[in-house]
Amino acid sequence: MKLFKDINPEADRLSPLVLAFIGDTVYDLLTRGYIIAQGNAPVNTMHTKAKHIVNATAQSRVYGIIEPLLTEEEHAVMKRGRNAKSNTFAKNQSIVDYRRATGVEALFGWLYLKGQYDRIEELYNIGMEDNYEKEQQAH
């Protein structure tokens, strides 16, 4: 298995929920790295910070921030993810936020499978600027 090489050049043919499946992990891994980069802290504190970043509401905000910056192809992938019919839903989250979050995860999964790591990092960092501000206001 290739971890960081063009894993699936046919990512365009995968269902948006499959893209979101891998994208959720990519987003979570980036978030954990972001939190660790802020410095050593108790794991419970890190977990709480991660929950404020990796949830439907926060990812829905990211959707709105990055949407105008996307290429046509990226926008189409994110829209496919947003419109995908899932049998699950997030507890205590609106369906709109959940669908938009699925769109973000699908985009991150697609970019990952296409090997576009710099683009993932760019979009994540843009979204994190807003999330960081919201996190600071909450404390």
Global pTM value: 0.87
Domains of the chain: 11-138 (1.10.1520.10)
Does the structure show a pLDDT above 50 at 136? Answer: yes
Task: Name the percent of the chain lying above pLDDT 90.
Answer: 72
pLDDT mean over 16-26: 95
Q: Is the pLDDT of residue 19 over 90?
A: yes
**What is the rounded distance in angstroms from the CA atom of residue 135 to the CA atom of residue 2?**
35
> Tokens 């992938």, residue?
77
Is the pLDDT assigned to residue 81 strictly greater than 80?
A: yes
Which tens digit of pLDDT belongs to each residue from 108-129? 999 999 989 999 999 999 998 8
Signed CA dihedral, 46, 30, 94, 13: sign only: negative
Of the pLDDT bands very low, low, confident and very high (cuts 50, 70, 90), residue 2 is very low
- Cα Rg for the chain, rounded, in angstroms? 15
Catalytic annotation, residues? 24
pLDDT above 70 as % of the chain: 85
Burial of residue 20 (number of CB atoms within 10 Å: 0-12, 13-18, 19+): buried
